[in-house]
Amino acid sequence: MLARRVTLDSPTIVGGDFNFTLRPEDKKGGRPFSYSFGAREMEDAVLANNLQELPFVGANHTWCNNQPGAARVLVRLDRMFLNSADLALMPLASIRHLTRIGSDHCPILLHLGTPNSDRRSQWFRFEDVWLSYPMCSKIVQ
């Protein structure tokens, strides 16, 4: 996590499992919501570094404790942020929370909204576990 102001003048994407609940609607079940020190620190870093949280499509919660019934806890822990330089290049960027399969977290798919003309500068990382998702196996085949 970005703990203080850093130089983010070039396009920057920050995303992942932040392990903080930022708003009461981000949590369902378990102990009542509390605005932790870590969440305040994260929001301060987001503001200090001019990061914008991307809109999402899909389930409201990205993590589940996999317990049945009243013991089930759902939380939105996974997020994606872009800085102003990125938003200028990709104003239609968004994320999709995919279905959880074999994990307690939902995978997050980043959609940049615009094609990148310089294919050589793109990074692509493939995880074998993605093949356990029905949609991914169709794409790979």
Which residues make beta-bridge pairs with 58? 97
Q: What is the pLDDT of residues 22-53, one digit of tens each?
A: 889 999 999 888 888 888 898 898 888 889 89
At residue 95 the predicted structure's pLDDT band, cuts being 50, 70 and 90, is very high
pLDDT exceeds cutoff 80 at 55: yes
Q: Which residue has the tokens 């085949």?
A: 141
Which DSSP category does 92 fall into?
T
Average pLDDT of the chain to the nearest whole number: 82
pLDDT score at 49: 85
Contacts 24+ apart (CB under 8 A), 64-69: 64/100, 64/104, 65/30, 65/104, 66/104
Q: Which residue has the tokens 């938003």?
A: 87
